[in-house]
Amino acid sequence: MSTLTIATAREVFELLREDMVAIEQELGRDAASSVSTITEIAEYLREGGGKRIRPSLLLLAAHQLGYHGPGAIRLGAVVEMVHAATLVHDDIIDGADTRRGRPSANTTWGNEKCVLAGDWMYMQAFKVALEEKNFYILELLIGLTQQMVEGELLQIQKLGKAVSEAEYYDLIFRKTACLFSVSMRMGAVLAGATEAEENAFATYGRGVGLAFQIVDDVLDLTASEEVLGKPVASDLREGKATLAVIHAFDHGTASDRKAIQRVLDDRSFENVSRQQIQEALVRNGSVEYAMAAADRYAGQARQALAGFSDSDFKRALLWVPEFVVAREK
């Protein structure tokens, strides 16, 4: 039995440092357009940082299977561009004013320019991916973008409704976990993985992605505005029922359900306060319920690695679910 320990954040950073520098340089090159507004918006998004967790996962999957070529840098930039494009479109749809503690791009450049810049970034991601000359990778990216667009449309259809847990999980797979899963698949494909290896990595990515989004949704309800870089309970105010809210709605009192539905209907906290919602969540143990679900998916991700040989890259992959569940922003 393996006694492999989980890596530390510092070890993971050092393990991927040179690759991540190369990905940032690739992103800088890929952000350049002959239309200055597109370059400005793409650069603004790149400089906004973020955890770069998706390209990190792609790198770790490829390296675990012995691949260290330039394709991993290119495709790492590709998945980050796809992610950035979705954030631009999300902020436009949600009418968001802030992103990661800064003004969202649409507040500076306007919706019209930003939706087109997001479209350009999607196409640029595909253009860079074409350099791999691998039809399967393009098939994965096409399927991914279709899933993400479908997820956004489904979410719009369900705004203001107390959706079921099954509907919630379908939404967060399409909007978030699918990109984690495909990032792992593409890293595996670069390395010439077997079907079993590719599927194991995809399962890992799905588990990490679901845990990531569940925790993100919990933090939206529990963290401070200073930590989040955006208003607290933004999701509920926008009419989105996330896992803890769904649990409180399903298991709370009639008064709890009425309060939650009122906020979903109003898209504001004018008639029901944030504190009333927080109290309903506490009474029903709803945050703990959601975090237990995140822990469960993180455990599924770790279990998916069981068949891979011990290495520093596997240690790093074992660290990611721990990081995802324990993060505070």
Of 6-10, 67-71, 269-273, minimum mean pLDDT range? 6-10
Looking at residue 16, its pLDDT comes to 97
- CATH number of domain containing 225: 1.10.600.10
Q: Which domain holds residue 56?
A: 9-326
As a whole number of Å, the CA-based R_g of the chain is 20
* Mean pLDDT along residues 25-44: 94
The answer as to whether 2 is a domain residue is no
pLDDT class of 1 with cuts at 50, 70, 90: very low
Looking at residue 226, its pLDDT comes to 67
Looking at residue 4, its pLDDT comes to 77
The answer as to whether 223 is a domain residue is yes
The answer as to whether 1 is a domain residue is no
Looking at residue 230, its pLDDT comes to 65
8 Å CB contact between 60 and 16: yes
8 Å CB contact between 325 and 291: yes
The answer as to whether 82 is a domain residue is yes
Provide, for the chain, the percentages of residues in helix, strand and coil under a 3-state DSSP scheme, each rounded to the nearest 5: 75, 0, 25
Flag whether pLDDT at 308 surpasses 90: yes
The answer as to whether 206 is a domain residue is yes
Provide the β-strand partners of residue 99.
Answer: 102
The answer as to whether 163 is a domain residue is yes
The answer as to whether 218 is a domain residue is yes
Looking at residue 228, its pLDDT comes to 63
pLDDT class of 229 with cuts at 50, 70, 90: low
* Mean pLDDT along residues 115-131: 96
Tally of domains within the chain: 1
Cα(250)–Cα(234) distance, integer angstroms: 21
The answer as to whether 3 is a domain residue is no
Name the strand (E) or helix (H) holding 98. Answer: strand 98-99
* Mean pLDDT along residues 113-128: 96
More confident residue, 179 or 50: 179
Report if pTM > 0.95.
no
Tell the residue number behind the tokens 């679900």, with chain if given. Answer: 293
User: What mean pLDDT is reported for the chain?
Assistant: 94
pLDDT class of 109 with cuts at 50, 70, 90: very high
Name the strand (E) or helix (H) holding 99. Answer: strand 98-99
Flag whether pLDDT at 96 surpasses 90: no
Name the strand (E) or helix (H) holding 102. Answer: strand 102-103
